Structure 1
Amino acid sequence: MSWNIDELDLDAYLARVGYDGPRTPTLETLRALHRAHVTAIPFENLDVVLGRGIDLGMNALQDKMVTRGRGGYCHEHNLLFAAALERLGFRLRRHLARVRLGRDYLPRTHATLTVEVDGVRWVADVGFGGQGLVEPIVFAEGATARLGAWRWRLGREGAVWVLHEGDTELYAFTDGEPDLPSDFEVANFYVANSPRSPFIRHVLAQRTTLDARIRIEDFAPAGPAELADILRNKLGIPVTDADAAILHEKLG
């Protein structure tokens, strides 16, 4: 596996996220594209629950999230976003982080990014779901970001950087040895296949707007048809009726 950013259809990606602004590698472009991606492409793990695994190849990522209008989870989102940023001329690093959410012992399976703009680095993450970033945050101890009622802060514990939303620790990572495609492949395999992974046991789906997070937990579909309607029309995730029937059995 390699990053294969040249395989990305950049025009199709920008159309998918609804971005038609400047294509220069500025902070304004980074912020606008980050917001556009987060609000256009849902967070979801449906293929994992359905037992189909996750292919991180660039052609597979853009076929799923750009051509077919689906969402994805952190590896899919942030590798697609990273490819778009690099094609636009940004310099960045891909990192693997430990999700915390009240725990500090989980493996390094979350994908996130740091992006350099005019000599300043920013944490960019379009794929956390939950309480994740909507805009980048400066990669500096004590940095803060806000959007409406949401507040993010970047803390530090020695060599470990910790992203918070409000009082919640979201995830932690180090800025040491670069994480390689092979590292992401291993982490992705664990998340999509290990019986210890929460992603294979629960249906997760979320659409984020600039002032709301709309989650599958907000609804209680009475049957597969209602679930399909919620996924398609509330969360923006196209599903077949057959898949909705299987997913409905695994809700909760």
Structure 2
Amino acid sequence: MTEDLGYGWQGDLVDLPAYLKRIGHDCDLAPTAGTLRALHRAHVMSIPFENLEIMLGRPIGLSLDAVQAKLVDAPRGGYCFEHNRLFAAVLERLGYEITALASRVMMGGQVLRPCSHVLLHVRPPDLPPDEPGWLCDVGFGGGPLEPLRFRDGEEAEQDGWGFRLAKEKATPTPWAEGGAEWALYQRLPKGWTRRQTFALNETFRIDFDVLNHYVSTNPRSPFTMRPFTQRFLPDVHYVLDGTTLTTTRPDGTVETRALAPGELPEVLASRFGIVLDSEDVPRLIAFLRA
């Protein structure tokens, strides 16, 4: 048995038929830009974003077995480390070149925030060296539906949702002059918002483990405070933040609804495709009431 040195994404271990069935993809699997777009869209639309394991008192495991059991074999979802861990393994299995990146979630803010999110820089194997690769992020919960090409300032219109990648200075400090960082912008109802910033520094599986530990256990992490689930579709974006359900449409229409704790299991199933085990339902309701 060959020792696992921690590099790569263990694509040889992924249950590809089960994954493809989960996302409803039965088309060409040649490692092209077209296949990448189709897989990305199918994954985002099929597997929801959620942090419910934290509310249920269980750790979030990032081994490929753990991620597949939860996101592929069960009617559940996960958050960025789980989603992009799985997607990286699938893409590696198909022959793509993958570099994971860590990002800071800014959501329009200016105060420096820690790296708490991961995304993927993906290149089809036959892509010419002078052609830009693709930014893939199936684990944010709010899109994009399809990969974004690494071209400064290029906007992508996806079923009425808008995204843009742009280069910017890493920091305003003098010693950072000339150091470029990327920013992902998203068009929200309030206008274009600088959603994330990141540098092209490679992140590995072990780094996912460290970031995941902070995000899932630190009392200052927003993910340890309340349920947070999302489902992003061509015509609607559902967000459950605590007990508030927000529905956003591509035209900017926003509706909010306050839920009673006992309503959450049904809403999770009907809006997000998340079906909890029977013993987990009272545990989640008790967490919310507490």
Q: TM-score when scaled to structure 2?
A: 0.81
One of 155, 159, 170 as aligned partner of 2:195: 170
User: What is the Cα deviation at residue 238 of structure 1?
Assistant: 1.1
Query: Match for residue 16 of structure 1?
Result: 22
Q: Aligned runs of 1:206-245 on 2, under 5 Å?
A: 206-216=230-240, 217-218=244-245, 219-224=257-262, 226-245=263-282
| Distance in 2, Cα, partners of 1:146 & 1:251 | 37
Query: Match for residue 121 of structure 2?
Result: 114
Query: Match for residue 204 of structure 1?
Result: 228
| Distance in 1, Cα, partners of 2:53 & 2:45 | 21
One of 66, 69, 77 as aligned partner of 1:63: 69
Deviations along 1:1-38, one digit per CA (max 9) or x if unpaired, are 84322221011101100000101011110001000000
User: What is the Cα deviation at residue 250 of structure 1?
Assistant: 4.3
1:146 matched to 2:157? The reply is: yes
Report if the CA contact (8 A) 1:160-1:174 is conserved: yes
Report if the CA contact (8 A) 1:138-1:144 is conserved: no
3-state SS, counterpart of residue 230 of structure 2: strand
Report if the CA contact (8 A) 2:163-2:184 is conserved: yes
Report if the CA contact (8 A) 1:228-1:240 is conserved: no
**RMSD, matched Cα:** 1.7
| Distance in 1, Cα, partners of 2:16 & 2:206 | 24
Runs of 4+ in 1 over 6 A off after TM superposition: none
Q: Aligned runs of 1:98-109 on 2, under 5 Å?
A: 98-103=104-109, 104-109=111-116
One of 146, 149, 168 as aligned partner of 1:135: 146
One of 211, 214, 222 as aligned partner of 1:187: 211
Query: Match for residue 88 of structure 2?
Result: 82
AA in 2 matched with 1:74: C
Query: Match for residue 44 of structure 1?
Result: 50
Identity %, equivalent residues: 43
| Distance in 2, Cα, partners of 1:55 & 1:5 | 17
3-state SS, counterpart of residue 231 of structure 1: helix
Report if the CA contact (8 A) 1:228-1:241 is conserved: no
Say which structure is richer in helix: 1
Report if the CA contact (8 A) 1:221-1:227 is conserved: yes
AA in 2 matched with 1:222: A
User: What is the Cα deviation at residue 251 of structure 1?
Assistant: 4.4
Q: Which runs of 5+ in 1 are unaligned?
A: none
User: What is the Cα deviation at residue 248 of structure 1?
Assistant: 3.0
User: What is the Cα deviation at residue 97 of structure 1?
Assistant: 0.6
Report if the CA contact (8 A) 2:49-2:139 is conserved: yes
Query: Match for residue 72 of structure 1?
Result: 78
AA in 1 matched with 2:86: L
One of 133, 144, 157 as aligned partner of 2:168: 157
1:125 matched to 2:141? The reply is: no
